[in-house]
Amino acid sequence: MAYGLLKGKKGIISGALDSNSIAWKTALKAKEEGAQIVLTNAPIAMRMGEINKLAEMCEAQIIPADATSVEDLENLYTKSMEIFGGGCDFVLHSIGMSPNIRKGREYGDLNYDWFMKSLDVSALSFHKFMQVAEKLDAIKEWGSVVGLSYIAAQRTYPFYTDMADAKAVLESIARGYGYRYGKAKNVRVNTISQSPTKTTAGTGIGGFNSFYDFAEKMSPLGNASAEDCANYIVMLFSDLTKMVTMQNLFHDGGYSNTGISEEIISLLENQ
Ligand SMILES: NC(=O)c1ccc[n+]([C@@H]2O[C@H](COP(=O)([O-])OP(=O)(O)OC[C@H]3O[C@@H](n4cnc5c(N)ncnc54)[C@H](O)[C@@H]3O)[C@@H](O)[C@H]2O)c1
């Protein structure tokens, strides 16, 4: 059911790789709620061509941009402003990648060039998205910027390796830029800390299936799906959350506040 929450709003959605992506579901939901959107992803991710299907469904244009390139982001905002006839109301940063995780490197054996790449792609790009937007005045008053995080920013998950550090930086940037952009233009900036979700980025993490099942059993509501996450993101883009900023918001079925659950106890007792 649509509520018209984003009627008349315009926004940029990054990170839709395929139909499992959180960004993919968000684009569909934002469209359903009345928004006009521009889609973006790294040029290399577009080779699969999946994003064209999404663009068709959302009647959206695609502007390729490597999120680590300031020049690409300048082009993204400039072209979006032409399409929108002015600034945008919301931006979704749904981007993450760690070469160390991809190549199975342990936390005690990280390749530091790759570590820098993880930080650049997964965290600094969030800052770049906002710094470039602010300089070009590409986000309107009371706009909303959302990034996606994971609880490994606060607690250790051994297989999450350098992505945990990247997520900690991402959440810190939400506070730092949230303060600055709030003062400058009433733009709000938040991160959503999402449950483990079966996407390309998610399932690439070592041991993913086990910690997906563990989180499912720990959370009183179970794991939050990508679609539920899209709903939460849309709410943050809407005017209903105008005064929410600089927050890391857990969207995890209650996982983050659960010490242990009956399901985990009975699993251990039946070992
Ligand atoms: N899946 C999970 O379990 C989970 C849990 C919590 C948070 N998140 C976060 O959600 C976000 C979206 O991931 P997802 O789970 O939808 O997976 P996904 O693999 O569908 O999306 C990740 C996206 O990042 C894009 N990307 C990678 N490098 C890029 C670059 N240099 N420039 C531009 N885009 C680039 C990819 O092309 C891809 O579209 C990520 O920040 C991820 O860390 C995921």
Q: Output the pLDDT for position 48.
A: 79
Pocket test for ligand 1, best of 22, 62, 255 (most atoms within 8 A of CB): 22
Closest Cα to atom 42 of ligand 1: 96
Give the distance (Å) from ligand 1 centre to CA of residue 15.
6
Q: Which residues contact 49 (CB under 8 A, 6 or more apart)?
A: none
In short, whether 248's Cβ falls inside 6 Å of ligand 1 is: no
Q: Output the pLDDT for position 111.
A: 98
CA distances (Å), origin 33, targets 201, 219, 255 = 26, 29, 28
Nearest partner of 158 among 114, 193, 99, 106, judged by Cα: 106
Nearest partner of 24 among 2, 56, 47, 65, judged by Cα: 56
Q: Which residues contact 113 (CB under 8 A, 6 or more apart)?
A: none
Q: Output the pLDDT for position 43.
A: 94
Q: Output the pLDDT for position 190.
A: 99
Residue-range domains of the chain with CATH: 10-269 (3.40.50.720)
Pocket test for ligand 1, best of 18, 94, 203 (most atoms within 8 A of CB): 94
Q: Output the pLDDT for position 202.
A: 87
CA distances (Å), origin 164, targets 154, 168, 265 = 8, 6, 27
Give the distance (Å) from ligand 1 centre to CA of residue 50.
15
Indicate the residue type of 221: L
Give the ligand 1 atom nearest the CA of 14.
34
Do 29 and 6 form a contact (C-beta atoms < 8 A)? no
Q: Residue 160: how many CB atoms within 10 A of its CB?
A: 24
In short, whether 196's Cβ falls inside 6 Å of ligand 1 is: yes
Q: Output the pLDDT for position 204.
A: 86
Instruction: Output the pTM of the full model.
Output: 0.98
Distance CA 103, CA 125 (A): 22
Give the distance (Å) from ligand 1 centre to CA of residue 73.
17
Nearest partner of 217 among 198, 199, 195, judged by Cα: 195
Give the ligand 1 atom nearest the CA of 147.
41
Give the distance (Å) from ligand 1 centre to CA of residue 23.
8
- For every one of its 271 residues, what pLDDT tens digit does the chain have, with 9 covering 90 and above? 899 999 999 999 999 999 999 999 999 999 999 999 999 999 998 887 799 999 999 999 999 999 999 999 999 999 999 999 999 999 999 999 999 999 999 999 999 999 999 999 999 999 999 999 999 999 999 999 999 999 999 999 988 999 999 999 999 999 999 999 999 999 999 999 999 999 988 888 888 899 899 999 999 999 999 999 999 999 999 999 999 999 999 999 999 999 999 999 999 998 8
Nearest partner of 135 among 190, 185, 171, 90, judged by Cα: 185
CA atoms within 13 A on the CB side of 270: 6
